Amino acid sequence: MVKQYLLDTNVLIAMFKGQHGIQEKMVAVGLQNCFVSEITLAELYAGAYKSMRKDALRQVVFVRNNFGIIPFDCAEVYGKLRSHLEAAGNRLDDMDLLIASTALDHGLTLVTNNTRHFSRVIGLEIEDWFE
């Protein structure tokens, strides 16, 4: 079975900047195996509109048009994860928890530079392409 990846917001920002060999890693694993969550797309849009840079908005449109977009359709997974994390005293930012829930529910490996943060989510497979 081919491994498939959910790209976190920080990975896409590094891709835009041509940093850390992210583009080459995407090509190596196959662009058809790289996906973006609706949550990440929303974060990218927010950043683009906040920056007021036309190139930033074009970058988001590029992502929307060239990557498979995974819808947020895992409300129960999110609710269960949030409940378990809070009971253990391990809160996670809601947007990150939504992204983690999406990766878990769809069986995707989350690619992020924030492995320490996401490692609180039991069962979530994580890779850091910044190393």
CB within 8 A of 76, min separation 6: which ones? none
Tens digit of pLDDT for each residue in 84-116? 999 999 888 999 999 999 999 999 999 999 998
Tens digit of pLDDT for each residue in 5-54? 999 999 999 999 999 999 999 999 999 999 999 999 999 999 999 998 88
Residue burial 79-110, b: 16+ Cβ < 10 Å; e: rest: eebbeebeeeeeebeeebbbbbbbbbbbebbb
Asked whether residue 131 carries a pLDDT value surpassing 80, the answer given is: no
Q: Which residues lie across from 10 on neighbouring strands?
A: none
Q: Domain 5-127 adopts which CATH fold?
A: Rossmann fold (3.40.50)
Tens digit of pLDDT for each residue in 72-86? 999 999 999 999 999
